[in-house]
Structure 1
Amino acid sequence: MLASSNSMLWIAFAAVDNHVTAFYHSKAAWFAVVYLIFTVPSGIVAMSLDRRIGLRGSLMIAAWTNVTGALLRFISSFLSDSLRFPCGLVGQVLAAWAYPFIMFLPTKASFLRRVANTWFSPNERAIATTIATMSNPLGVFAANIISPLIVRKAAHVRILNGVLLVSPLAACIAALVGLTESQPEVPPSFSAAQAGIGFRAGVLASRTKCYEQIMKVSVAITVLSFLLFLQLTLHPHMEWPLAFAAAMFGIFGLAAYPVGLELAAECTFPASQTISMGLVVISGQAFAVALLQLVRMTARRLQYDHMHIQSCTTDEAKTIVPLDNTFPVMIVSAVGTAVVIIFFALYRPNYKRSILERRNQKQSANPSPNQGQVPKEEIPLSEVDVEP
């Protein structure tokens, strides 16, 4: 709930950009840009505080900053024109500050050691991470459905801000009541953890450990779908092909996301799982900021003969300048193609964590009679054959 509400705060204005621009008298794109920018320093802080505050501490920071940001955005709806945008932007910054603490929670919960006070066993890690990380795309999906249904003119942004306050408030209350410690006293049963899991990629990766193969297939189809989507946006009356491309992008993109997090944890072991996920999140946000800036710089004013098909301007937002994104689409397509080629050509992972766990299990099942044997928890990584 917390991850979904945070992603809704991030992306909700994108689907009604023109009405939000008219309501705040400033470009709505700033809400997305500041979110991406401020998650980078927040991510660094979240990684540094990982071992000090634990799972519950991270959850509390995320819950309170998230609900405070949503509240400030709601309050901004009733302020004067001069204060409305700054107040809303501060609320967005607070929501951005919560994001890394939320996104690092899946690894905190799923990678704790398999002892009596852990949440998940090694066999359940990929599935647990899948469930937790899927809540973020779920929020994106919900926001893009809800926003156009509510906002039909600029004044309706007030209603949207009120709706967006509900889930962060509920998540904050649930965090206060539902989580009283960082680790459970009794671990959950295996059957309880497995019940109702329907995320095929996470389950497949968890059972087969074929992270590299699943990741490469998912990334390839995701990027191809994305490139198709970009090209279709340059042509009018392509609603159904666009829907198909978006569906394929979502299906395989969501499959790649949790598997990629698990793969990062495998390859960076014995480093903290929070650090591995933090680097993934921070690098992704920084890359997105750079790509958005590149798109903004290369976009051109829409040609006059295409003005009749644009939907950017409204009666309340006549000052918005429609842009032609043909050149940005070409650049992003080239970047996406290069990423896939480099990933396929150079990525050769070593499953360090899984190899060490299998060796420990073998030694536990067949203990050596030699005295002075190094305990399985203390086997140095240098002694582990890390070839896949």
Structure 2
Amino acid sequence: MQKKASTVVFFGQTLAAVAQPLIIFTPTKMAALWFPDHQRATANMMASMANPLGILIANMASPKIARTAQLPLLMLVYAVVACVSCFLVTMGMRCSAPPPTPPSASAEHSTSEPFRHGFKLLLRNRAYLLLLCFGSGVAVFTCFSTLLDQILCVQGYTDDFVGLCGALFIALGMVGAALPGLYVDKTKKFIEAIKVNMSLSAMVACAFTVVCLMQDQKVAVAIVCALFGFLGVSIYPAVMELSVECSYPVGEATSAGLVFISGQVQSLIYIILLQALATPIAESPRLTCTLAPQSWKVPVMLLSALSAVSSCIFLIFFHTPYRRLEDEKAAIYGTGQGNGTAASENK
């Protein structure tokens, strides 16, 4: 019976993982086809942050439901929410074509490359390959949220406090996402905004390395976790837009999606590496770990180093024209051929 249950759980997790790309990659495509250039980053931000909002609500509600009821009831709540959402999306979203009046020149003349050809173009695009440094940033944030409990329990912090830090990480990231989205929509300074955020995020990662090794520093730990989310998570929508700008006319879902996939691959590598570097420590009355306690000093230092290195590489070497914006200007003020310039540069 236990083996059968494990198989069902594994199948469910796999099915959810397969479905995830169909949701994660859509905001950039939706913003490109349905919103003008001065609203794309904001639209992408609102759609992208819906995912962490759901995670935040689940993380806050799940412990309360689990304390007052049995685990099957919690699973039933998850199932009801998923089924209702699926029904609303299936019955409520019936748009199968772009709007009759294109909101921008790039949407009007959209000729996204086929995936295989677009993938080859991306491999030859130096700026886009450097943008995969942000994939390392995604991996750092994933490791942070995944291993936070194991890192902090060694210093005696409770599960409730760790949950608060995780909630602050996500909530402040959602609040902070509004600022880069509005800023880049007004100024079109994608690169400058992302470089500033990545640099500050690397500094906060180094600060977390210091405070997470201290005892009885709840305020400092909570502030650092909140700042890490505010500066790091918030820049995700702007990076997705920049991935389209530097790789146009490659399809929006392809360029943005591969950045996210690279982050997930790197997350897997980082988590395995960090867990391998953690060393067992002796039991102590102040420990709150449910698993065997381990020292995370070296893994956390490595995590901050990875954040700093990826930020430095992006800060120093990343330079690119905004291909989509340039083609839109050409379509309006120049020859009227919406994607000719970018297409010729990519061939």
**Same fold per TM (> 0.5)?**
yes
- 1:304-351 CA distance string (max 9 Å, x none): 3xx3222222xxxxxx32222112112112111111111111111221
- The one of 291, 295, 298 equivalent to 2:277 is 298
Whether 1:338 aligns to 2:309 is: yes
Contact 1:223 1:340 in 2 (8 A): yes
SS at match of 2:49: helix
**Counterparts of 1:98-109 in structure 2 under 5 Å?**
98-109=19-30
TM-superposed CA distance for 1:122, in Å, is 2.6
Query: Which stretch of the first structure deviates more once superposed, 375-384 or 229-238?
Result: 375-384
Are 1:88 and 2:9 counterparts? yes
CA contact (8 A) 2:35 2:103 kept: no
Segments of structure 2 that go 5 or more residues without pairing to the other structure are 105-176
2:216 to 228, 232, 237: 237
Q: Distance in 2 between matches of 1:237 and 1:295?
A: 24
| Residue pair 2:48, 2:237 contacting (<8 A) in 1 also | yes
1:264-303 per-position Cα deviation (integer Å, ceiling 9, x unaligned):
1100111111110111111000000000010111111122
Write the deviation string for residues 17-48 of structure 1: whole angstroms up to 9, x where unpaired.
xxxxxxxxxxxxxxxxxxxxxxxxxxxxxxxx
Name the aligned partner's letter for residue 214 of structure 1.
A
Match for 1:349 among 310, 320, 332? Answer: 320
Distance, in Å, in 1 between the alignment partners of 2:186 and 2:304 is 34
Once the two structures are superposed, residues 117-171 of structure 1 have per-residue CA deviations (whole angstroms, 9 ceiling, x without a partner) of xx22233211111111111221232233223333349x84333322222322221
* Matching residue within 74, 77, 81 for 1:160: 74
- Structure 2 match to 1:253: 232
2:58 pairs, out of 143, 153, 156, with 143
Distance in 1 (alpha carbons) for counterparts of 2:45 and 2:185: 10
User: In the TM superposition, what is the alpha-carbon distance from 1:174 to its structure 2 partner?
Assistant: 1.0
Q: Identify the match of residue 359 of structure 1 among 312, 317, 330.
A: 330
Aligned to 1:170: 84
**Aligned residue in 2 for 1:63:** none
**Are the equivalent residues in 2 in contact too, given 1:231–1:329 (CA < 8 A)?**
no
Structure-2-length-normalised TM-score: 0.72
Contact 1:134 1:254 in 2 (8 A): no
Bigger relative CO (Cα 8 Å, ≥ 6 apart): 2
1:360-379 alignment to 2 at 5 Å?
360-363=331-334, 375-377=336-338, 379=340
Query: Distance between the aligned counterparts of 2:339 and 2:302, measured in 1?
Result: 49
How big is the shift at 1:186?
Answer: 5.2
Letter in 2 for 1:338: V
User: Counterpart of 1:213 in 2: which secondary structure?
Assistant: helix
The structure with the largest alpha-carbon Rg is 1
Q: Distance in 2 between matches of 1:333 and 1:378?
A: 40
Equivalent position amino acid for 1:381 in 2: A
The number of residue pairs the alignment matches comes to 273
User: Are the counterparts in 2 of residues 201 and 259 from structure 1 also a CA contact under 8 Å?
Assistant: yes
2:275 counterpart letter in structure 1: R
CA contact (8 A) 1:100 1:281 kept: no
